[in-house]
Chains A and B, each alone.
Chain A
Amino acid sequence: GEDVEQSLFLSVREGDSSVINCTYTDSSSTYLYWYKQEPGAGLQLLTYIFSNMDMKQDQRLTVLLNKKDKHLSLRIADTQTGDSAIYFCAETLYSGAGSYQLTFGKGTKLSVIP
């Protein structure tokens, strides 16, 4: 199939860790991304991981990649109210027409409870 799957909602308490999971479709995807969309704003690239990596850490963000299972996760440590947003998982697909497209999941709405 062509769907990138992720759960639609996640609610966590401020200070806890958040884990957003995603399964993607194409084992040949070179880059996998996490985008963040705050209310009224555009898509902000949060972090990415290259397909030959298992893990990437960037301050409070940890990305884990399991290529065998085509599973990607984003962990946000010490979640803050400012982290409330929609998080999109995306994979890169080559269209065959000289173009690399992003294929997105439906987005996970993260709500942080103070």
Chain B
Amino acid sequence: EAGVTQFPSHSVIEKGQTVTLRCDPISGHDNLYWYRRVMGKEIKFLLHFVKESKQDESGMPNNRFLAERTGGTYSTLKVQPAELEDSGVYFCASSHGRGSYGYTFGSGTRLTVV
């Protein structure tokens, strides 16, 4: 079974530019989550999709962040415009059920905003 795939693995952009991160969950997993770890801080929840619907987006920091999951398969997380404080590692995870047990995380995308 293929794991959760994220790309790019690294991205370096200038402040004010736009970046789009992509996550391909495990096939058949209805639940998809985004988390991020800003440097030196905890890994924080951003949002949760069930199929194509946003179940919980309480962790999204502001309206510069837009997540989509068209068709209930892969998801994208767009940051526009990027700010310096957006630098960090963005993790995606998927699961079959809604509980936290059974999460599988991807390797993450390291975003650096300069």
Residues of A within 8 A of B (CB): 3-4, 30-31, 33, 35, 40-45, 48, 88, 90, 92, 95, 97-107
Contacts and interface: CB of A to CB of B under 8 A. Distances in A.
Interface centre among B40, B42, B48, B56 (most CB of A within 10 A): B42
Contacts of B104: 45
Given A95-B56, A97-B55, A98-B56, A45 B42 contact: no
B98 interface: yes
A51 B49 CA distance: 26
Contact of A106 (B41, B99, B105): B41
Contacts of A42: 4, 6, 91, 105-108
B35 interface: yes
A43 B56 contact: no
Contacts of B50: 98
A98 B55 contact: yes
Nearest to B6: A42
Interface residues of B, number: 28
A101 B59 contact: yes
A99 to B, nearest CB: 4
B100 A101 contact: yes
Nearest to A43: B105
Nearest to B9: A40
Given A40-B107, A42-B91, A95-B48, 13 more contacts: A42-B108, A43-B43, A43-B93, A90-B100, A95-B56, A99-B48, A99-B55, A101-B33, A101-B45, A101-B56, A101-B59, A104-B44, A106-B40
Nearest to A98: B55
A103 B45 CA distance: 7
Contacts of A100: 98-100
A45 B42 CA distance: 17
Interface string B70-104: 00000000000000000000010100001111011
A15 B35 CA distance: 34
Contact of B48 (A4, A30, A101, A107): A101
